[in-house]
Amino acid sequence: MSRTHLGLPTFPQAARLSTRDEQLRANLRHATSTIRTKRATATSELSDWPQLRAAGAAIKDHTLHHLDHYLEQLETAVTTAGGTVHWAIDADDANRIITDLIHATGESEVVKVKSMATQETGLNEALTQAGITAYETDLAELIVQLDNDRPSHILVPAIHKNRTQIRDIFHTRMGAWGRPAPDDLTDTPADLAEAARLHLREKFLRTKVAISGANFMIAETGTMVVLESEGNGRMCLTLPDTLITLVGIEKTIPTWRDLEVFLQTLPRSSTAERMNPYTTTWTGTTLGDGPQTFHLVLLDNGRTDTLADTTGRQALRCIRCSACLNVCPVYERAGGHAYGTPYPGPIGAILTPQLHGTTTPLNASLPYASTLCGACYDVCPVAINIPEVLVHLRERITQGGPTTTNGTKTTIKPAKRHTTERTTMRTAAWTLNHPAAWTATQRLTTRTRALHPRRLPGKTARAWTATRDLPPVPARTFRDWWQHRDADAKDTPQ
């Protein structure tokens, strides 16, 4: 993997700052609450939503179970249709393959369709190092690129910016990348869109190589499918001479018929639209129509390892709709950057530690970035039980256990940072399973209640008492009252 997260703050460390950023909080509150409501309306229109959700999960599970078969079928179909298939074992491999393919064209500029896979591999940075300039053409990705920022959302990478901030970015930064924004640019959405359109038009008409991802790959025909809203994708997928598409292997579906389910669930879950404005499909190359050279780069980058985990593998069903981000109260308050990886939100909290391991402090903090409230599971259009996987990953971190790394089964050790917690949990579990010890602990708690301070020393206790009072400890436990209720009948409750 090209992006290591050593040195990046853990989720709680990053959230400590981001939760205090009132502008960020306001931007996210507005954006996520709007899309949440719209999604709820869009999905409630379909009476068979639960069935579509179950079907989506079943199609994905079936494909993942037979992924070797469908990937070979896909490779054959793409090759037969005039495309070339490359297999990338990890991010560096993918970036190297793509860099070499661009060098072979003699070009030094590429236009890009919004792609999470290229975010995952850090392709833009790799291309810059190789002397190739990549132009993001999705509006939000453009904003992020111009501002030298990082995406904070799977679908809406600039969700953390409001339109005034975007106007300022266009004003100050567009000129350095190409056609500048007009001097009298306002922050109305129409004006901002027009400025982006004029800026991007130059790139679309000049650039000979495009890079894309794909939402789906249909194995039976070798067809790539891209869903988008802005039409920039259609430009990139049709105008250049060479098209290079980087896709995670789990994006395979067996047949066109399977696509029917996802064409209903993906737009409604992501943008809350009944149908997205642009759905582009292509199969290899077509003489005289569209790119004459097509390369498909299939990316593993931890996916096969994830597939080996019977609980965790459901994360590979993900169709990147981002409904779980929009509904997540933790995401809304911490913001996408706190997750420190291209995949923020609940899905990122289970995907990143599986794809890249739990060894870095940041990745090990991600499975805890959830209250397990279950809102993400409820909205997931492929029924990924995100809380279940989060708890599973917490176990992997605290207890260690079997996992698969680079195709080899290994047993990882329990994380060092959890030593005190582990001891506490073991002691608590023992006490709770020994009635005499549990009663004694309760007695000790109630009898020393006058001594309990309102704020406690120590890092863990301070985490509670910095903002909250401790609950007052009553004089008697419930069981104490129960055991004596006949004796002191006067003390009848209420």
Partner 1 sequence: MRVALFVTCVNDVLYPDTGRAVVTLLERLGVDVDFPTGQSCCGQPQYNTGYRHQTEPLVHRYATVFTDYDYIVTPSGSCAAMVRDNYPKIAQRATAEGRESGLSRAAAAAVPKTYELTEFLVDVLGVTDVGAYFPHTVTYHPSCHGLRTLGLGDRPHRLLQAVRGITLRELPAADECCGFGGTFAIKNPDVSTAMGHDKITHALTTGADILCGADNSCLMHLHGLITRQHTPLHTVHLAEILASTKEHPYTPATKAGNLR
Residue placing its CB nearer to partner 1 in the complex, 128 or 483: 483
Q: What's the min distance (Å) between Cβ of 310 and partner 1?
A: 8
CA Rg value for the chain? 26
Residue placing its CB nearer to partner 1 in the complex, 257 or 443: 443
Q: How far separated are the first and last CA of the chain, in Å rounded? A: 63
Alpha carbon 133 to chain centroid distance? 26
Q: Which of 431, 455, 457 is nearest to 444 (CA)?
A: 431
> Helix, strand or coil for residue 184?
coil
Residue showing tokens 């679908």: 155
Q: What's the min distance (Å) between Cβ of 487 and partner 1?
A: 15
Q: Which pair of structure tokens corresponds to residue 333? A: 């308050």
Taking the C-alpha atoms of residue 6 and residue 362, their distance in angstroms, rounded to an integer, is 8
Taking the C-alpha atoms of residue 20 and residue 32, their distance in angstroms, rounded to an integer, is 18
Residue placing its CB nearer to partner 1 in the complex, 120 or 332: 332
The one-letter code for the residue type at 173 is: R
Residues 367 and 353: beta-carbon distance below 8 Å: yes
Pairing mode, strands 133-136 and 209-212:
unpaired
> Helix, strand or coil for residue 262?
helix
Taking the C-alpha atoms of residue 391 and residue 374, their distance in angstroms, rounded to an integer, is 12
Residue placing its CB nearer to partner 1 in the complex, 277 or 435: 435
Q: What's the min distance (Å) between Cβ of 20 and partner 1?
A: 8
Residue placing its CB nearer to partner 1 in the complex, 125 or 378: 378
Residue placing its CB nearer to partner 1 in the complex, 73 or 341: 341
What burial class does residue 137 get, using C-beta atoms within 10 Å of its C-beta: 0-12 exposed, 13-18 middle, 19+ buried? buried
Q: CA angle, 362 as apex, 357 and 363 as ends, to 5°?
A: 25
What burial class does residue 408 get, using C-beta atoms within 10 Å of its C-beta: 0-12 exposed, 13-18 middle, 19+ buried? exposed
Residue placing its CB nearer to partner 1 in the complex, 222 or 346: 346
Pairing mode, strands 223-228 and 216-218:
antiparallel
Q: What's the min distance (Å) between Cβ of 365 and partner 1?
A: 8
Q: Which of 328, 152, 136 is nearest to 232 (CA)?
A: 136
Q: Which pair of structure tokens corresponds to residue 339? A: 């997750």
Q: What's the min distance (Å) between Cβ of 374 and partner 1?
A: 4
Residue placing its CB nearer to partner 1 in the complex, 49 or 481: 481
Q: What's the min distance (Å) between Cβ of 325 and partner 1?
A: 14
Residue placing its CB nearer to partner 1 in the complex, 30 or 479: 479
Taking the C-alpha atoms of residue 478 and residue 494, their distance in angstroms, rounded to an integer, is 14
Residue placing its CB nearer to partner 1 in the complex, 177 or 368: 368
Q: What's the min distance (Å) between Cβ of 85 and partner 1?
A: 36
Q: What's the min distance (Å) between Cβ of 14 and partner 1?
A: 10
What burial class does residue 115 get, using C-beta atoms within 10 Å of its C-beta: 0-12 exposed, 13-18 middle, 19+ buried? buried
Q: What's the min distance (Å) between Cβ of 474 and partner 1?
A: 4
Q: What's the min distance (Å) between Cβ of 221 and partner 1?
A: 38
